[in-house]
Amino acid sequence: MTERIIEVGSDDRYLSVYRGFMLISEGEDELARIPLDDIGAVIASARGLSYSNNLIVELAKRNAPVVICGSNHAPAALLLSLEGHHRQSGRIDTQIKASESLKKNVWKQIIQSKIRNQGSVLSALERPANPFFRMADKVKSGDPDNYEAQAARRYFPMVFGRDFRRDRSEATLNAMLNYGYMIIRSTVARYVVATGFHPGIPIYHRNTLNSMRLVDDLMEPYRPYVDLLVIGLYEDGFDCVSTETKPKLAEVLEMAVAMPKATVSLRRAIELTVQSLVRVYEKEEKKIYLPLPDIQIWKG
């Protein structure tokens, strides 16, 4: 069964639980009833929402994150279960003890995958892609030359136009990117917690104010899927987050992703990536399981 992302975008709603269902109400009127076991995540992007504590507890039991968004559609808070796996303490110890050389090698693989996927997006759009594949081949352990940033400076104007700048506070194309990235971020967070890893113990990201550093590390190769989906929506005449674009952006989790052994949904690919990181940290494997550069235009 495909888990549902429930987005609450209308103001002044009350979210509660009743006999295995999440209820969405306005005043005395029940507006929707969704089985809790069908919910993969709840996205709260409206004003004046209120929640019952029992609902939050039931979602946590099912490891379904609750994402609370700001006005720019970027996540302001992410509520996750504290106990996602029976071996959680041991897994966190494994994270803490991971050597710098191991983490630098994993980061190299992640950045190579991200840059190659950016090249794949450009190829799908029939724009010059070979420089990105060559750049990916140059990435060294830990990316000391910061090829990630070099690629980003060239990539975004090539996809979205020469005048485009990545600005998280901007309300049109950037807001659609925020929303799509947020969906991926919440999905990565869910699987990180499910494996017993702590989302705040990073591979690379060092911002001490960010409690989701590992999540932000692992989502990097999956960002280009959102980019291709957003540029497709833009070319179809959509230029902002709306009731029409939100469900289309949520479809990113069903996009086909070529992985080393099979093609799977993006949702499943994220799960495989997180699981493989556990095996790398536990010295069972040397390579993390990451998407191959074969991103196709999504038809829905």
Arithmetic mean of pLDDT, 16-20: 95
Average pLDDT of the chain to the nearest whole number: 91
User: Is residue 300 very low, low, confident or very high in pLDDT (cuts 50, 70, 90)?
Assistant: low
Question: pLDDT, tens digit, for every residue of 241-279?
Answer: 998 999 999 999 999 999 999 999 999 999 999 999 999
Q: What is the pTM of this model?
A: 0.84
Q: Is pLDDT larger for residue 205 or for residue 102?
A: 102
Long-range contacts of 255-263 (CB under 8 A, 24+ apart): 255/225, 255/229, 255/295, 255/298, 256/296, 257/225, 257/291, 258/291, 258/292, 258/294, 259/289, 259/290, 259/291, 259/292, 260/289, 260/292
Under the banding of pLDDT at 50, 70 and 90, the label for residue 171 is: confident
In order of their start, the domains of the chain are 4-64 (3.100.10.20), 88-281 (1.20.120.920)
